[in-house]
Amino acid sequence: MKIRSFLPLLTYPDASSEASIRNAAALASLASAELHVVALEADIPPVTSALSRVLMNLPEVIRNAETLSAQAGAKLMDIARGKAEASGLPVTVGTLKAAPALLGEVAAYEARYFDLALVGWSSGNPGIQMLAEAVIFGSGRPTIIVPEGAEASGISRIAIAWDGSRVAARALADATRLLERAEEMHVITVTDEKPLADKAAGDRLAEGLRQAGVKASFSPIRAEDCPIAETLQRHALELDAQLLVMGGYGHSRLRDFVLGGATAGVLRDLRMPILLSH
């Protein structure tokens, strides 16, 4: 059964980057996944206030913003569809409209009907961070964050960030269908970031993977003074891994996400495709 992947495209206020969309579509192709692309268009509610009476052209401003959002969506869908079709990848496209503040929530809901979500990452775009956090923590599906500056090269070598925790185990399980396509797996455990309940956790996981017939290695590493997200990504890249699998740490309070250190660090400095699961 093919993997069914979901690619939401942000169109407002700043659109997803074309490079990140091409990279996300390329990753779907490498996973032999069907791709469903959805443009998230702004549906801006009318403003009824003293401000709207002062700014007589406010309805026109809103209409223009919605038109630009729709135009951006059409352009980005064409890019994603073209990349997918050039790779022989089954692709469908669609549009979802919502108030700007709810675009992430709409994407998270839609992602629940697919096996995997892909979010093209652009640094310096707050809307993309909102979208990524909403899908990671609200969809219940594994989400691969794909950077615009690192073209997807394969999924045959996968690194797994492992500390024996529940969220790490959830990420590992959610990545199973991608792991089945891997030729090598590298288990990475940061030993000095926090106390580990099981000092042999990484060794145990690597041994279990080997018993399942997978070529697997284990690397205990130290973060020392480096942020854990930088440490994990740097070591994964040194191992020539093409994808990093890790748990997404975060807590929801009144719809605001308080991210764990590793998750927040990844979203600040994304260097490679990373599968996050919560």
> Within the chain, which residues score under 50 in pLDDT?
250-259
Strand, helix or coil for residue 34? strand
pLDDT at 51: 58
| Token reading at 134 | 């909403």
Q: Which domains does the chain have, with CATH numbers?
A: 4-147 (3.40.50.620), 157-277 (3.40.50.620)
User: Rounded to two decimals, what is the model's pTM?
Assistant: 0.89
C-alpha 4, offset from chain centre: 15
C-alpha 235, offset from chain centre: 20
Q: pLDDT for 58-111, tens place per residue?
A: 778 888 999 999 999 999 999 999 999 998 999 999 999 999 999 999 999 999
pLDDT at 70: 96
Q: Please answer whether residues 135 and 162 qualify as being in contact, where contact means their C-beta atoms are separated by less than 8 angstroms.
A: no
* Average model confidence (pLDDT) across the chain: 87
The residues with which 37 forms a beta bridge, in sequence order, are 7, 93
pLDDT at 252: 45
Q: Please answer whether residues 107 and 131 qualify as being in contact, where contact means their C-beta atoms are separated by less than 8 angstroms.
A: yes
pLDDT at 80: 93
